């Protein structure tokens, strides 16, 4: 996981909607549109704490080659999608990818893929398909402008990176986590789980079952 620095924009100002997300559809990807030197994640977070706090434009995360900054709590809507509130603003979490001239676009984009996978996994989503959006999907704006221009990779490649990180998380799942996921999904008694564990058709049986549940597959 990349380092996330909490730098929340001050509540009560226009950049903070103060409204809870009405659901979770996934993650909306942006490029900052700012190629200026020094326009990194810290600079963008500071902007929302200062000069930008009274403008109705905001994002949850901004990512550069070193870190992510969080400006809006994940459970609160940010004003990033330009769709008038539904569902881009009200049901997705925004990641801005830095494109400053003195930054490393490739690394920043990779970090954004890691963060997107983390957000999706925390919402129980293991198959990224249908849960990754471009700003363009909501408002028609040419954003994320760098990815849309194939820099450092095109959209399908970016989505593939996110899926790759989600697949990696499956391998990291512990047996205890797998048990919890299976019990919640299937309502199995402890005894049944013990039976499954004892069955040991394959070392990773529980992990594979849990991953199948999270991908929406049938048992």
Q: Is residue 53 a contact point for Zn ion (CB under 5 A)?
A: no
- Gap between the Cα atoms of 127 and 57, Å rounded: 29
Comparing CB distances to Zn ion, the nearer of 105 and 210 is: 105
What's the min distance (Å) between Cβ of 132 and Zn ion? 14
Establish if 143 lies at the interface with Zn ion (CB under 5 A). yes
Nearer to Zn ion, 85 or 183 (CB): 85
Gap between the Cα atoms of 82 and 135, Å rounded = 8
- CB of 83 or CB of 104, closer to Zn ion: 83
Are 194 and 166 a contacting pair, CB within 8 Å?
Answer: no
Please, which residue, 103 or 144, has the CB nearer to Zn ion? 144
Q: Pick the stretch among 111-119, 128-136, 164-172, 211-219 that binds Zn ion (CB under 5 A).
A: 128-136
Q: 105, 81, 86: which is closest to 22 by C-alpha? A: 86
CB of 181 to Zn ion, least distance (A): 34
What order of strands is seen across the sheet that includes strand 4-6?
4-6, 68-70, 61-63, 92-97, 26-31, 132-134
Residues at the contact surface with Zn ion, assessed by CB under 5 A:
30, 135, 143
């Amino acid at each position: 996981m990349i380092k996330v620095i909490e730098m929340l924009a001050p509540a009560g100002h226009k950049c903070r909607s103060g409204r809870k997300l009405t659901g979770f559809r996934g993650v909306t990807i942006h490029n900052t549109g700012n190629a200026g030197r020094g326009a990194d994640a810290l600079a963008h977070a500071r902007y929302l704490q200062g000069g930008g706090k009274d403008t109705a434009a905001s994002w949850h995360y901004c990512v550069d080659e070193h870190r992510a900054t969080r400006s809006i709590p994940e459970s609160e809507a940010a004003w990033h999608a330009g769709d008038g509130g539904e569902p881009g603003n009200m049901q997705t979490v925004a990641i801005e990818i830095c494109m400053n001239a003195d930054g490393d676009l490739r690394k920043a984009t990779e970090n954004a893929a890691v963060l997107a996978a983390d957000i999706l996994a925390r919402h129980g989503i293991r198959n990224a398909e249908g849960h990754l959006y471009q700003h363009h999907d909501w408002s028609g704006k040419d954003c994320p402008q760098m990815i849309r221009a194939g820099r450092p990779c095109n959209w399908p490649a970016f989505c593939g990176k996110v899926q790759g990180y989600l697949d990696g998380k499956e391998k990291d799942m512990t047996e205890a986590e797998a048990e919890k996921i299976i019990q919640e999904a299937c309502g199995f008694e402890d005894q049944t789980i013990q039976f499954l564990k004892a069955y040991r058709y394959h070392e990773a049986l529980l992990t594979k079952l849990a991953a199948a549940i999270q991908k929406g597959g049938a048992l």
